[in-house]
Amino acid sequence: MKLVQINLIVLSLLLIFSCQDDDDNFRTDNDDLPDITDIEEIDTTNPNVADNISLRELGRLLFWDPILSGEKDIACATCHHPDLGYADGRDLPIGVGGIGLGPDRRDVTSDDIGLVPRNSPTILNTAFNGMDEDGDYNPATAPMFWDVRERSLEAQALGPLLSFEEMRGHAFDESLALDSIVNRLRANVAYNNLFTNAFGQNNAINAQNIGIAIAAFERTIIAIDSPFDRYVAGNENAMSQQQIRGMNTFNRIGCDDCHSGPMFSDFELHVIGVPDHALLPSSDAGANGTYAFRTPTLRNLSMTAPYFHNGVGRTLEETIRFYRTASDAADNGGNGGGNGGNNGGLQVNPNVDVDDIDRDVERLRNFNNDDIEDIIAFIRALDDPNFDRTIPESVPSGLNPGGRID
Ligand code: HEC
Ligand code: HEC
C-alpha cells in the first residue's frame, strides 16, 4: 500500500500550531479537509479487490455479524457500537458470556471468562492511526492496540476472533478458530456471493480477505469535521472563546508534545503511570512490560468515556487532573502519594518507578482548575457527532446484528 498524504489537514495543523501564541493573527486560508475520497484510494490500491463499494458493504456486514464469534453471540459492534462512539462506554468490556450493550452489559455466566482487561478504543478515525505531524501515514504499518502489538487494520481485525475473552470463548481452540469461522462463512450462500462481488473471483472466502473487508469498512468510519476543523478551515466562530483559550493552554503547558498532529496523537508509547484497574487480577504492564501505552487520539472523546487503557479515568476532569499528579510525582522523584496526593483523584501506579515516567509528563507546565476547564472545552471542540451510524437491518447469518445486545 502506498504512503498516503493528506496535505490539507496538515496545513491546518501547521497553521494552528505555528500561531498558537498569536491568536489574533490566526490565518484562515484553508477550507478543505480530507474526506472519504482520500480513504477510498487506499482500498483501490489493493490488487485483490474488484469492487470497493461491495467490499466496504461486506465489511460492514462482517463487523455486525455475530457469526464471527465462537458462540455466535458477539460481533465487533458489540464493543464498537455507533451509539457509543464506536466504543462501548465501559471501563472494561464484557465479551464472551455477556448480554446487553455498553454500560448495561452484564456477564450472565458463571464460567471462567471474565472482563476483557483493556478499555475498548473507538474505531472512529482508526483509518488515520499512525498519522504523523506532517499528515503522512502508512495503513500497512498503522499502530494498533494500546500497546501497539499489531500493525494495520487488516491484521488487527483477526485478533478479536482469536481472543478468548472477546469473541472466541470455549467454542474452538485458538489454532482452529480462523478455519472454523471461514468454514461457517463458506457454508453461507449470501457470503459466497458477497465475497465474489468484492474480490471478483469465486472461493474468495479466507481469513485474509475477512481482514481486508472489515478494514475497508472501518476506514469509512471517520469523524473529522469538528468545530476545531471548521475553525482551522476559516470559520472563526466555530470555536468559543473558552475553547480557543483551552487550545492555547493545551499547547502552552505541553499536552501537544504527545497529543500532536492531525489526530492529536504521536501514536508513540509513553509511560505516564496510570494506575491499575482494581478488578483485574494482575497489574497491566503495557508494552513489553514497560508500563508504556500508546498515546490515544483526543478526537470525539465526549462519546467515548471512560478513559485510559483500562477506563480508570471516569471523566475528562479526572483524566486530565491525573497529569498534575503524575508530573509532580516525576518531578519530585516521590511516589505521587505524598505530594501528588494533594491533587486528589487517581494516583500514580505504585508498580511504576517514577523515574520511568516520560520526560514530557515531568516537563508539563503547571495548570490550575480553570485551565482544566478550558482544556476540556477545547477537547469538546474536537467532537464530530456526524459520522456513519448505520446499523444493518439484518446480517447474512440471520443472527441478531451486533449479537446479544438487546
Ligand atoms: C469484547 C469487546 C470487543 C470486541 C467484540 C471487539 N473488540 Fe476491538 N477492541 C476491544 C478492546 C478492549 C481493544 C483494545 C485492546 C488492547 O489494546 O489490548 C480493541 C481494539 C480494537 C482496535 C484498535 C484500535 C486502536 O486505535 O488501536 C480496532 C481497530 C478494533 N478493536 C476493531 C475490532 C474489530 C474489527 C472487531 C471484530 C472483528 C472487534 N474490534 C471486536 C474490544 C473489542
Ligand atoms: C508523554 C506524552 C503525553 C503527554 C505530555 C500528555 N499525554 Fe495524554 N496520553 C498519553 C498517553 C500515553 C495516554 C494513554 C495512557 C494510558 O491509557 O495508560 C494518554 C491519554 C490521555 C487521555 C485519555 C484519552 C482516552 O481516549 O482514553 C486524555 C484525555 C489525555 N491524555 C489528555 C492529555 C492532556 C490534557 C495533556 C496535557 C495536560 C496530556 N494528555 C499530556 C500521552 C501523553
What residues contact residue 23 under an 8 Å CB cut-off, 6+ apart? 244, 248
157 and 215 Cβ atoms separated by less than 8 Å: yes
The pLDDT score that the predictor gives to residue 47 is 75
The one-letter amino acid code at 388 reads D
Considering only CA atoms, which residue is closest to atom 40 of ligand 1?
76
How many CB atoms within 10 Å of residue 397? 20
The pLDDT score that the predictor gives to residue 23 is 38
What residues contact residue 285 under an 8 Å CB cut-off, 6+ apart? 291, 351
142-163 confidence digits (pLDDT tens): 999 999 999 999 999 999 999 9
- d(C-alpha 88, C-alpha 204), whole Å: 32
Ligand 1 contact via 10 beta carbon (within 6 Å): no
The pLDDT score that the predictor gives to residue 135 is 80
Tell me the backbone φ, ψ of residue 36, rounded to 5 degrees: -60, -30
What residues contact residue 102 under an 8 Å CB cut-off, 6+ apart? 81, 83, 84, 88, 89, 90
Q: How far apart are the first and last CA of the chain?
A: 39
- d(C-alpha 184, C-alpha 65), whole Å: 12
* Mutate-to-test residue for ligand 2 from 124, 270, 316, 370, highest number of ligand atoms within 8 A of CB: 270
Q: Which pLDDT band holds residue 3 (cuts at 50, 70, 90)?
A: very low
* Mutate-to-test residue for ligand 2 from 323, 343, 357, 362, highest number of ligand atoms within 8 A of CB: 323
The pLDDT score that the predictor gives to residue 345 is 92
Ligand 1 contact via 90 beta carbon (within 6 Å): no
How many angstroms separate the alpha carbon of residue 314 from the centre of ligand 1?
20
- d(C-alpha 78, C-alpha 25), whole Å: 46
95-117 confidence digits (pLDDT tens): 999 999 999 999 988 766 778 99
Ligand 1 contact via 160 beta carbon (within 6 Å): yes
User: Mean pLDDT in the chain?
Assistant: 88
The pLDDT score that the predictor gives to residue 109 is 85
Ligand 1 contact via 123 beta carbon (within 6 Å): yes
158-192 confidence digits (pLDDT tens): 999 999 999 999 999 999 999 999 999 999 999 99
CA 233 vs CA 132, 226, 330, 338, 369: distances in Å: 20, 10, 38, 45, 30
For residues 64-84, give the mean pLDDT: 98
Q: How distant is the alpha carbon of residue 87 from its chain centre?
A: 8
The pLDDT score that the predictor gives to residue 45 is 60
Ligand 1 contact via 262 beta carbon (within 6 Å): no
The pLDDT score that the predictor gives to residue 227 is 96
The pLDDT score that the predictor gives to residue 30 is 33
- Nearest-ligand number for the alpha carbon of 258: 2
The pLDDT score that the predictor gives to residue 17 is 44
The one-letter amino acid code at 139 reads P
- Nearest-ligand number for the alpha carbon of 148: 1
Percent of the chain with pLDDT strictly greater than 70 = 86
Take residue 349 and report the three cell numbers written for it.
501506579
- Out of 8-17, 42-51, 276-285, the most confident range is 276-285
- Nearest-ligand number for the alpha carbon of 366: 2
Q: Which pLDDT band holds residue 49 (cuts at 50, 70, 90)?
A: confident
For residues 283-289, give the mean pLDDT: 97
